[in-house]
Every structure is written in structure tokens, then in C-alpha cells.
């Protein structure tokens, strides 16, 4: 399994853990109170899970998660992990299963589950509307360049009270632009950046996560997120990257509706996975190119 993230760009530390028959590189996140496994190897999957458990317990973290090949799922489940979602085409020739280990029972509590179910029902209860609207007069859309980084960071700082990655830092945005991320932005008729999104690419695996959607509050209602999604889909197709997925806040009607509109399929929910907008939240996983495949892990 290969990591798409440039480790030098992360603000959270990356630790290498190892034991007899396994090794793993993990992101250590105090904000999210979790270990995120970027890469692992070795035949001893039970030993891997036990080593991750010990590390998380020492740090008083509530969750560990990794993306596994489907054939590894039974061994990981036997070691105590739970399958939360499937990511279609994550590996060039195979799907990935998001496997999670919950160490803190409170991490499994979902106080907004009923509300989230109602939101999802509302999202899928209307016909899809896949065609984006025309931009308002005077607005423009383009791929972001390094000179846009300060304005892009300011937009993210305005929209998000907290975020799993340091997208409010211009240097972080520039570094990711140079390595593996494509950003798209929309400017209003005054030339200000009012909406943005990105594609975090793993070129070797032919896969990308569509993410970092943000629209300035006073600009919502123009369908800007759907336009950005269509633009990023086109850019990924031009780069021959066909496996696309996203994670969307379960309490966000708008973002889940955007992906449903484009024909994406929901394949699971990551419980209390990300500290975003000031708290830990559930995240729905959506994948492009379903063609009638199963919705859940």
C-alpha cells in the first residue's frame, strides 16, 4: 500500500511502528485523536493490529484506520477491526476496504445519527441533477496556481473552524500543488476567490480523492461545488486517473447532494473520523463509477 501524501507537508508527526512480521507508517493526530495508517507491510496482520492498538492506547486515542486489500479483510476483522467503507478502484487493480479499530467506546456514539439518516434520505429522495448551472455573470473558474495560495488559504480559514489538514497555510497549499494535488477555484465578479475544491492524486495507483470543498457562506446557492466537481472530474480524466472517491460530512446535505447528483454511490460511513468544523464528525464515503455495485462495505 502506498501513501499519496507528501510526508514533509504534514503538520502531524509520522511515526514508523514495527514488530516481528510487520511495519507501518502512521500519522499521529492529536486533533483527530487517531492513528491513520499510510502504509503497512508484512504478513502478520494480527501483530500489526495489536501494535497499532498499543500505540493508540499509549496516546489515549480512540480510533485507528487503514485502507486494506479486500483479501486482507478477514484477518483484520479477526484481529478486531471493522469494515466501514469500500473505495472502488483505490488500487489500480483492486478496491480498498477502510478498516477501523475503535479503542474508546465513546468514539462509537453517534448523537446525530437520526438527523444524518434524514439528511441522506432527503439527498437520495429526489432525482439526480447531474448538469451544473452556468456561473453567475462575471464569475470565472480555473485551476489554481501558486500565486492563488494566499487567497485560497484565506477562504479555507473563513469556512472551516477546524480541518484535518493545514489547508489554511499558503505554504502547505503550494507544497501540495507541487507534489500531488490539483486545486480548482471560482472567482466572483470582483475577482475574489469564493469557492474551491481539490483532487489529491496517487498517480501510480491511478486514483484520486476529491476533497477540500469550500464555498464562502454568502456565495452558497449558485451550484459552485457541482461545477468544481465536474471540472476536477475532467482534469482527472485528462490525466488518466479513473478511480475517484470522496468523504463528505454526514451532516452536510449540500455536499452529499453534489456527489449524488453526479451519479456517485455511497459505499459506507466513517464514524467519528475527522475533527472538522470544530468537532469530530461522521463522514460518508462516495465513489464514482458505480455501475450498480454494492453500496456498503
Q: State the distance between the two ends of the chain, measured CA to CA, in whole angstroms.
A: 19
**Residue 297: predicted pLDDT:** 47
- Write down the pTM of the prediction: 0.92
Q: Which domain holds residue 280?
A: 113-287
Q: Are 123 and 257 in contact (CB under 8 A)?
A: yes
**Residue 11: predicted pLDDT:** 62
Does residue 25 sit in the same domain as residue 86?
Answer: yes
Does residue 121 sit in the same domain as residue 201?
Answer: yes
User: Where is the domain boundary, 50, 79, 108?
Assistant: 108
**Residue 294: predicted pLDDT:** 45
Cα 183 to Cα 118, 256, 259, distances in angstroms: 32, 20, 18
**Residue 5: predicted pLDDT:** 47
Cα 87 to Cα 39, 101, 121, 168, 250, distances in angstroms: 16, 18, 22, 27, 17
Does residue 60 sit in the same domain as residue 168?
Answer: no
| Domain harbouring 27, CATH code | 3.40.630.30
Average pLDDT over the chain reads 93
63-100 burial, b at 16+ Cβ within 10 Å, e below that, comes to: bbbbbbeeebbebbeebbbebbbbbbbbbeeebbbbbb
Q: Is residue 2 domain-resident?
A: no
**Helix (H), strand (E) at residue 56:** helix 45-58
Does residue 88 sit in the same domain as residue 117?
Answer: no
**Residue 12: predicted pLDDT:** 76
Does residue 61 sit in the same domain as residue 118?
Answer: no
pLDDT tens digits, one per residue of 56-100? 999 999 999 999 999 999 999 999 999 999 999 998 878 999 999
For the chain, residues with pLDDT lower than 50 are 1-5, 7, 9, 291-292, 294-297
Does residue 153 sit in the same domain as residue 86?
Answer: no
Number of domains in the chain: 2
User: Where is the domain boundary, 108, 134, 158?
Assistant: 108
Q: Is residue 293 domain-resident?
A: no
What single-letter DSSP state applies at residue 136?
P
pLDDT tens digits, one per residue of 9-20? 456 789 999 999
Does residue 104 sit in the same domain as residue 119?
Answer: no
Amino acid at each position: 500500500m502506498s501513501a499519496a501524501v507528501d510526508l514533509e507537508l504534514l503538520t502531524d508527526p509520522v511515526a514508523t511502528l514495527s514488530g516481528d512480521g510487520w511495519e507501518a507508517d502512521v500519522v499521529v493526530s492529536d486533533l483527530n485523536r487517531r492513528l491513520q495508517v499510510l502504509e503497512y507491510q508484512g504478513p502478520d496482520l494480527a501483530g500489526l493490529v495489536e501494535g497499532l492498538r498499543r500505540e493508540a492506547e499509549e496516546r489515549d486515542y480512540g480510533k485507528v484506520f487503514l485502507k486494506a486489500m479486500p483479501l486482507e479483510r478477514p484477518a483484520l476483522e479477526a484481529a478486531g477491526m471493522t469494515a466501514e467503507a469500500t473505495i472502488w478502484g483505490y488500487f489500480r487493480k483492486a478496491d480498498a476496504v477502510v478498516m477501523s479499530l475503535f479503542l474508546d467506546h465513546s468514539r462509537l456514539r453517534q448523537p446525530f445519527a437520526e438527523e444524518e439518516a434524514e439528511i441522506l434520505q432527503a439527498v437520495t429522495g429526489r432525482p439526480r441533477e447531474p448538469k451544473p448551472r452556468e456561473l453567475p455573470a462575471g464569475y470565472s473558474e480555473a485551476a489554481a496556481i501558486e500565486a492563488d495560495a494566499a487567497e485560497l488559504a484565506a477562504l479555507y480559514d473563513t469556512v472551516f473552524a477546524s480541518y484535518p489538514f493545514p489547508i489554511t497555510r499558503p505554504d502547505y497549499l503550494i507544497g501540495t500543488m507541487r507534489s500531488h494535488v490539483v486545486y480548482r477555484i471560482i472567482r466572483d465578479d470582483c475577482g475574489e476567490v469564493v469557492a474551491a475544491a481539490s483532487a489529491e492524486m496517487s498517480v501510480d495507483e491511478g486514483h484520486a480523492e476529491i476533497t477540500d470543498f469550500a464555498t464562502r457562506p454568502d456565495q452558497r446557492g449558485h451550484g459552485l461545488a457541482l461545477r468544481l466537481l465536474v471540472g476536477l472530474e475532467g482534469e482527472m480524466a485528462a490525466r488518466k486517473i479513473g478511480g475517484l472517491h470522496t468523504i463528505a460530512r454526514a451532516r452536510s446535505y449540500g455536499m452529499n447532494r453534489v456527489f449524488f447528483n453526479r451519479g456517485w454511490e455511497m459505499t459506507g460511513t466513517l464514524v467519528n473520523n475527522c475533527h472538522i468544523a470544530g468537532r469530530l464528525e461522521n463522514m460518508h464515503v462516495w465513489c464514482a463509477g458505480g455501475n450498480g455495485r454494492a453500496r456498503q462495505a
